[in-house]
């Protein structure tokens, strides 16, 4: 398969790219580096990426940012910026990508455990993740040409535990191998409309 | 209690307003009628409503619109309009209302079964409902002054079954009494951060 991995240099994306590179042709994509340049918060940038890249069988997105802060500090724009990036960025990947991805191909999005089990300071992040879960379940059955759509929702990932563990009290870090396997199951499996929870 | 019910003339809001009027002082609010005028899709309109209305103990929102259509017909703006209305409209009610609502008061939002169990043409609506579920769980524990926050997620409601039942194949309509009780549980109960599912 020929696979675009957006955010392929991030904590999760890097591991996912390593795994898929062993068996597939991987194109990494990001705002500041990789084989392709894309800013998922701009629909035009997503369209440009698909126009300049042919025969894509799978798209994996491990990108998208949402501000963390206590509820009383979060302004309307903090919510909207997260929505534009992590929510609509990923919705637009599916919306635009549906015309370009090869028949029977797949899109795999990334949400996170905050959808189901939030921690302090995550009201903006949690809502984006929860939206992605419901979006994937609703949109997947409507895709044409055998396209599949899933979302991987990981807990606190092991590679980020040193940096972010203090914000997830009582959360056991999820081994990276299990996180990567969530993406493998989506891309190489045959399910669609799945919320693939990788929690510890 | 002195309670604002936004969307108090809609299918659900009307029944909710009837019930609460028996025991409480109810102010209905909406874009085109009611005791107060408010357009929840505009933060400034929400702020104006709270500035002109004192001593509010509870806010119930049964308003917010999202376009229904098949996935390939939904444009980015269809998602964004739904987000501005039903999602950020309700988030802003909490964000702005937290400064005005009396100590120990509550905000009760409305989502819907599509968050958990979507039907065709609802990818924009489902994601808004899913976002609300995760938002409420994340934000409620961070509210100050004993404020509470819940969301009622109803299935196909009986009063709408004649009009919308065909879009919910196999869904049994939920009796209005049960739907209204979801709001009663939120406002008169003591729970917070709850997704009150009223499914049949």
Reported as a single tens digit per residue, the pLDDT across B77-108 is: 999 999 999 999 999 999 999 999 999 999 99
Three-class SS string for chain B? CEEEEECCCCHHHHHHHHHHHCCCEEEEEECCCCCEECCCCCHHHHHHHHHCCCCCCEEEECCCCCCCCCHHHCCHHHHHHHHHHHHHHHHHHHHHHCCCCCCCCEEEEECCHHHCCCCCCCHHHHHHHHHHHHHHHHHHHHCCCCCEEEEEEECCEHHHHHHHHHHCCCCCCECHHHHHHHHHHHHHCCCCCCEEEECC
pLDDT at B39: 97
Measured between CB atoms, which of B72, B95, B123 is closest to A138? B123
Q: What is the mean pLDDT of residues B70-77?
A: 98
**Does B87 lie at the interface with A, CB-CB under 8 angstroms?**
yes
C-beta atoms of A139 and B71 within 8 A: yes
**Does B141 lie at the interface with A, CB-CB under 8 angstroms?**
yes
Q: What is the mean pLDDT of residues B62-91?
A: 98
pLDDT at B70: 98
Quote the mean pLDDT of chain B. 97
Share of chain B above pLDDT 90, in %: 99
Quote the mean pLDDT of chain A. 97
Cβ contacts of B135 on chain A, cutoff 8 Å? 123, 126-127, 130
pLDDT at A165: 97
Q: What is the mean pLDDT of residues B145-169?
A: 98
Reported as a single tens digit per residue, the pLDDT across A25-54 is: 999 999 998 999 999 999 999 999 999 999
C-beta atoms of B130 and A126 within 8 A: no
The pLDDT-based confidence of A184 (bands split at 50, 70, 90) is very high
The pLDDT-based confidence of B118 (bands split at 50, 70, 90) is very high
Q: Which residue from B minimizes the CA distance to A74? A: B95
pLDDT at B185: 98
Q: What is the mean pLDDT of residues A148-172?
A: 98
Q: Which residue from B minimizes the CA distance to A97? A: B72
Cβ contacts of B76 on chain A, cutoff 8 Å? 43, 88, 91-92, 95
Interface predicted TM-score (ipTM) of this complex, two decimals: 0.97
Q: Model-level pTM? A: 0.98
């Amino acid at each position: 398969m020929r696979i675009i991995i957006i955010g392929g240099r991030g904590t999760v994306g890097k591991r996912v790219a390593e795994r898929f590179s062993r068996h597939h042709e991987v194109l990494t994509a990001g705002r500041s580096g990789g084989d392709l340049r894309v800013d998922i918060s701009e629909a035009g940038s997503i369209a440009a990426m698909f126009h300049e890249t042919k025969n894509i069988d799978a798209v994996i997105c491990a990108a998208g940012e949402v501000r963390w802060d206590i509820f009383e500090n979060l302004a309307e724009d903090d919510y909207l910026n997260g929505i534009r990036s992590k929510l609509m960025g990923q919705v637009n990947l599916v919306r635009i990508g549906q015309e370009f991805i090869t028949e029977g191909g797949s899109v795999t999005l990334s949400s996170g455990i905050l959808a189901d089990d939030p921690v302090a300071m995550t009201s903006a992040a949690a809502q984006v993740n929860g939206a992605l879960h419901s979006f994937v379940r609703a949109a997947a059955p409507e895709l044409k040409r055998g396209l599949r759509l899933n979302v991987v929702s990981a807990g606190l990932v092991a590679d980020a535990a040193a940096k972010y563990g203090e914000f997830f009290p009582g959360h056991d870090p999820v081994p990276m191998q299990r996180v990567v396997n969530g993406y493998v199951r989506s891309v190489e499996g045959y399910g669609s409309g799945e919320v693939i929870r990788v929690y510890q």
